[in-house]
Amino acid sequence: MSRQDSKVWFITGSSRGLGRALVAAVLDAGDPVVATARRPETVAEAFGEYGDRVLPLALDVTSPDAARTAVEGALAHFGRIDVLVNNAGYANVSPIETADEDDFRAQFETNFWGVYNVTKAALPVLRRQGSGTIVQFSSVGGRVGGSPGIASYQAAKFAVDGFSRVLAVETAPFGVRVMVVEPSGFATDWAGSSMTVHSIPDAYDETVGAMNRLVRQNTAGAAGDPRRAAEIIVRTVRRDEVPGHLLLGVNAVTMAQDHSRRQLAEATAWEKVSRSADHEEPYPVQLPTEERP
């Protein structure tokens, strides 16, 4: 691949999990990468053999100043940014009722505001270039929701999706594309050392407790292969057209399709009621028949 054809990637959360797998896939594809992390030395140790094709940079995504400094460092080294990947994120477990407010906010600072900070820092660069791709890591939970115990994480992922939908419309005239990645479970330490499980009261054992046992005490491990996911993302970004949302994993596809069917069925069942809220529509109308056990 010629230097002219290569794309400069800027990836957050590069020291572990899907972020680290993506750095490897990008380098294997022949592209240079700015690999950011809170501890960039771990990235340097892992990918030192690639020389100046990989630029490890320190980045705390919760800091707008740090985001701007990292983007400036990327430009100083490579001269441009073609693909921005907002991957950094984590989840802790606790019921909403008993969750520590500071912890809840701290998760949101990384999982949503981190995306906002880095995206905003890079936007002037992409706009001036007249091209670029922004890849936002969400989760299938950011589409379907309802996973007990990780309300802050899923709320942030819903926010990332809404933010990215507006971003896509605003930046399309500049030649900038936006793709939201929605994985299901992957064999990373997302549910391991990266996750803190707070006290789960007995009242929430059948919801939060059950989900925690399913995720953290499943000896079979997650079905998703981080290497494959990373390679799919690299191949997809190289296309002339990218999907607005890229599901990754069997469970992600199944959950998303089931969710869409339920949404459509509910909207259809309540259609006459919903329409009746407008002035010119018939009113009142009968509510849908309730299904009783």
Annotated active-site positions, please?
A: 138, 153, 157
CA distances from 110 to 227, 242, 271 (A): 24, 26, 38
Full 3-state SS string of 40-108: HHHHHHHHHHHHHHEEEEECCCCCHHHHHHHHHHHHHHHCCCCEEEECCCCCCECCCCCCCHHHHHHHH
For residue 108, give the amino acid letter.
F
* Spatial separation of the C-alpha atoms in residues 49 and 33, rounded to whole Å: 13
| Rounded CA separation 219/180 (Å) | 30
At residue 100, φ and ψ (nearest 5 deg) are -75, 125
